[in-house]
Amino acid sequence: MRKLIFIAVMAFLGLPLRAANTFDVYFIDVEGGQSTLFVSPSGKSMLVDTGWSDHDGRDADRIVSVAKLAGVTRLDYVVITHFHVDHVGGVPQLAERIPIGTFVDHGTSVETSPAAQELFKDYVEVRDRASHLIARPGDRIPVEGIEVRVVTAAGQCIQRPLAGGGAPNPYCASTPQREVDRSENAQSVGMVISFGKFRMVDFGDLTWNKELALVCPNNRIGRVDVYLSTHHGLDQSNSPAIVDALHPRVAITNNGATKGGEAQAMHTIRTSPGIEDVWQLHYAENAGKENNSPEPFIVNVDQDAKVSWVKLSAQSDGAFTVTNSRNGKTKSYPPRP
C-alpha cells in the first residue's frame, strides 16, 4: 500500500519514475542537429552532442528539460561527435544550465575557416573547465552500467571486429565509394552502445566512405537492434552497405522538417532487411510521403510543431520499447529469437 501511495504522489508531482533495470535513451529534437541523452540503469548519464547555438538557448533548454524528466541533474559525459555548429554549438549555453563532468571528442577541428575556428574556440573554453578525454577507435567510455565502445574517431576506425562482427559483407560489392570527404563529418566519433543483449549505434555525421571502411569487406560491427540514422538521414551517409549489414529492427531519424530525411537515405533505411519501424523527429518534407513513416511514428508532423523527444527503454535481455512524446504512442519489441 505504501508503495502505491508513493507512486501516486510522484505521478501527481510530475516527478520522473525510472525503472532501475532499464537503459533509457532520449532522442531530443534540436531541429535537425543532434542531441541524444543516454541514462544507464546506474543513473549515470551520457549526452551525445548539444544541438545548435543561439535561438535564445532553445536547444540547451530542451536538453535540460528532458534531463529533468529523466532524473538527471548532472551530465557525467558529453560526447561531441564532431565540431559542426548543429552538434557542438550548444555547449556554452548548456554548460550554463547543468553541470558537466567530462567532455569526449576526437581532438581538434580539421576545418580552418574563421567561422569553424571561432566555433571550436568557444567549445574549448568550456571544455577546459571540465575533464576531457580524446576518443580513439577501440576505446570504452566508462559509463557505469552500459558499454560504450568507440568504433570511429578522427577519420580512423576499429581494425578488429567487435563480438558478433567480422563476417563478410555481401552489400559492399554494390555500394561504390564516393568522393573523399575532408570535412569534420568524416572525423565523427562513432559508437556502439550496449546493455546486455541490446545494441544500438550512433555514428554522428560519419560520411559514406568512412561507413564503408567500417563494414567492408567485413562487417566489424555485427547486427544491432537500433540504428540512429547517420547524418540526420542525409544521402551523404546511410549507405546500403552499412544499413543493411547492421540489420536493425528499428531506426530513429533525428531529422528536421527540411534538413535530413532525404528520399534515397530514407528509402534505404525503410527497405533495409529486418527493419520493423522507423521513428522520426520530424516529417521529412523533401522525402515524399512514401518515404515517411506513418503519422503515429513521427514526433513533429508539421514544421510549426514543437514536441521534444522520442524515448527508448531497453532491458538487458534485448527487449525494448519506443515512445513518441507527442501522442504517447508506445510500441514494444521483444528480444531477438
CA 257 to chain CA centroid, Å, is: 18
Residue range 201-214: mean pLDDT, rounded: 98
Q: What is the CATH number of domain 20-331?
A: 3.60.15.10
3-state SS string over 198-244?
EEEEECCCCCHHHHHHHHCCEECCCCCCEEECHHHHCCCCCCHHHHH
- The per-residue pLDDT for range 295-304, each reduced to its tens digit, is 999 999 987 7
The pLDDT value recorded for residue 13 is 37
Comparing C-alpha atoms, which of 141, 138, 164 is closest to residue 153? 138
What's the pTM? 0.93
Count Cβ neighbours within 10 Å for each residue of 192-230 and write b for 16 or more, e otherwise.
bbbbbebbbbbbbbbbbbbbbbbbbeebbbbbbbbbbbb
> In a 10 Å sphere around its CB, with 0-12 CB exposed, 13-18 middle and 19+ buried, how is residue 58 labelled?
middle
Quote the DSSP letter at residue 51. -
**In angstroms, rounded to a whole number, what is the distance separating the alpha carbons of residues 170 and 155?**
24
The proportion of the chain whose per-residue pLDDT surpasses 70, expressed as a percent, equals 93
Do the beta carbons of residue 261 and residue 282 sit within 8 Å? yes
Omega before residue 161 within 30° of 0, cis = no
pLDDT band of 329, cuts 50, 70, 90: very high
Average pLDDT, the chain: 93
pLDDT at 305: 64
Q: Which of 17-26, 203-212, 224-233, 280-289 has the lowest mean pLDDT?
A: 17-26
Closest Cα to residue 165, out of 114, 127, 222, 204? 222
Mean pLDDT of 304-314: 86
Tell whether the model's pLDDT for residue 46 goes beyond 60.
yes
Query: For position 259, what pLDDT does the model report?
Result: 94
| Whole-number pLDDT of residue 265 | 97
Report the alpha-carbon distance of residue 249 to residue 232 in Å, rounded: 18
- Write down the pLDDT at residue 14: 42
What pLDDT score was predicted for residue 12? 36
Average pLDDT over residues 321-333: 97
Q: What is the structure's pLDDT at 337?
A: 85
- CA-CA distance, 292 to 171, in Å (whole number)? 24
The pLDDT tens digits for 130-153 are 999 999 999 999 999 999 999 999
DSSP state at residue 170: T
Task: With beta carbons less than 8 A apart as the criterion, state whether 98 and 64 touch.
Answer: yes
Q: What are 255-265's pLDDT values in tens digits?
A: 999 999 999 99
pLDDT at 120 over 80: yes
